[in-house]
A and B are shown apart, each in its own frame.
Chain A
């Protein structure tokens, strides 16, 4: 099966700064694919090159098997993009602007109008077609931005920071929307919110300083370690940590202050993760240590910090 997007040795520099330093990976067709990385990792540059906004210095991109010509748009109907900071024309009706995009994609006037209605209904904003951009909130504009990316039913949809600056309620709405469209299209999402990526994506690519650090299924990234991560409201005492280590399955325990979590390593060959977690929960209750979350394996955030060496950056 052809990958939705194939990226090969992509390079892009801004003066002396290498935003992309030989990035290579494939995005499988179907589902939600996440691209994560700290600020300056090259996520937006990567998306900009794929979308044709920037010319790469070297390397190539294929969308659905068709090579992207640098400085030219992707093949018609192949790609829909929500660019990170792109804005609508403030003083014009949004429906008019969306219909214009549809016409540029080769739709007839009637088809473009129908497509505007369909995509605005999909983002649950059918009433904004006649409104101007200046009359809408940031969250609503994000949704209209997603609607414009869906015009013409592209096979791949790129959403660059779709929930940036949104309140949790609005962000949750966008998550639902992404889940709705994902079965039909390949959706590529970037976000700083790693919990969001973890809950949305089947597979992730982690970028750091312009290079690909790791690409794997989310389960592969977060679940391989035989660890339990316990989120506590306060640091445990040494006695409490020592007590937890007396549990048969637990081999090591340590408090990770920067994450606000207690990490407990266990012997995965001797004990199932679920049993180890139950034992730890009961023991914490006995010790009267209130915990807010108990997770088997590390979170994407923990893995992200490890993989990108973010703790070292600070």
Chain B
């Protein structure tokens, strides 16, 4: 049913198309600037850590710990464990990428099928290839693009940290860098499938963005109301999990229950929402 060659052609076309679009260029420029700023700060932290190798509670370590804890919403002790296990500036880069991932994914993934349905460009494609191949090709194209940008930003920041910080990277640092790229890319999948589903349901790219923002606000408010107003923690968690990137921070942890449950959640959300989008796209009029 799925033609791998056609899937690759659609995927590659989508990547090149987005890289030439205004939103794609703006997102890239913003991410490059933000990565440069954060990379410099992390390089400075790396330099300070290098100079105070013997002291565990160096000011630089505290700076990174607070940065990560602030973005992830983790208690400081949890962050400390990660900082002890890995190079602290890389942990900071991990947290930064996880922080910007939803906005990056929204920018690059909001228009997988919507504008093609709106302009009926999809009709030029639909008599040439199977709809499953078309839908998956566009989804994978958006994912590949997000992953490429995340990888570029991660490698750039690591370069800043290693060159600017004056510390030689160890093999474990390269492994951790690979894990950062893979984890953030995989964490983007639920949001990408959510955007894909909205695209085929709404068929208008602007409405996809609007509905995504409304969904985020609605889920956040409902979960907060249940948690703090009615003290219904379990139900609040269930409502919270309707937002695609909920629980992504736990993927930064090295092991344990939260990491496992977040990984399972990413897989389930991606499969369920992705399948719903695919089924709807197969049946909808183009």
Chain A residues at the B interface, C-beta cutoff of 8 Å: 48, 51-55, 71-74, 79-81, 83, 85-89, 91-92, 97, 100-101, 103-106, 148
Contacts of A73 in B (CB 8 A): 126-130
Given contacts A53-B286, A73-B130, contact A86 B123 (CB under 8 A): yes
Contacts of A72 in B (CB 8 A): 130-131
Query: Closest CB of chain B to A258's CB: distance in Å?
Result: 35
In the complex the two chains form, what is the Cα distance from A135 to B131 in whole Å?
30
Q: B78 at the A/B interface (Cβ < 8 Å)?
A: no
Asked whether B126 lies within 8 Å of A100 as measured between CB atoms, the reply is no
Query: Closest CB of chain B to A19's CB: distance in Å?
Result: 11
Asked whether A101 lies within 8 Å of B124 as measured between CB atoms, the reply is yes
Q: How many A-B contacts if CB must be within 8 Å?
A: 69
In the complex the two chains form, what is the Cα distance from A231 to B256 in whole Å?
89
Given contacts A89-B17, A104-B6, contact A83 B123 (CB under 8 A): yes
Per DSSP, chain A at the interface is: loop
In the complex the two chains form, what is the Cα distance from A86 to B115 in whole Å?
12
Asked whether A104 lies within 8 Å of B17 as measured between CB atoms, the reply is no
Partner of A55, one of B22, B119, B283: B283
Asked whether A53 lies within 8 Å of B285 as measured between CB atoms, the reply is yes
Contacts of B9 in A (CB 8 A): 100, 103-104
Q: B21 at the A/B interface (Cβ < 8 Å)?
A: yes
Contacts of B5 in A (CB 8 A): 106
Nearest neighbor of B5 in chain A, beta-carbon distance: A106
Contacts of A85 in B (CB 8 A): 120
Given contacts A100-B9, A100-B13, A104-B10, contact A51 B128 (CB under 8 A): no
Contacts of B120 in A (CB 8 A): 83, 85-87
Asked whether B124 lies within 8 Å of A86 as measured between CB atoms, the reply is yes
Per-residue A-contact encoding for B93-129, CB less than 8 Å = 1, 0 else: 0000000000000000000000000011111111111
- Which residues of chain B in 114-161 are interfacial with respect to chain A, using CB atoms and an 8 Å cutoff? 119-131
Q: B40 at the A/B interface (Cβ < 8 Å)?
A: no
In the complex the two chains form, what is the Cα distance from A75 to B5 in whole Å?
17
Nearest neighbor of A90 in chain B, beta-carbon distance: B119
Asked whether A71 lies within 8 Å of B123 as measured between CB atoms, the reply is no
Nearest neighbor of A160 in chain B, beta-carbon distance: B123
Q: B53 at the A/B interface (Cβ < 8 Å)?
A: no
In the complex the two chains form, what is the Cα distance from A103 to B282 in whole Å?
22
Query: Closest CB of chain A to B6's CB: distance in Å?
Result: 6
Asked whether B127 lies within 8 Å of A79 as measured between CB atoms, the reply is yes
Contacts of A92 in B (CB 8 A): 17, 20
In the complex the two chains form, what is the Cα distance from A182 to B13 in whole Å?
32
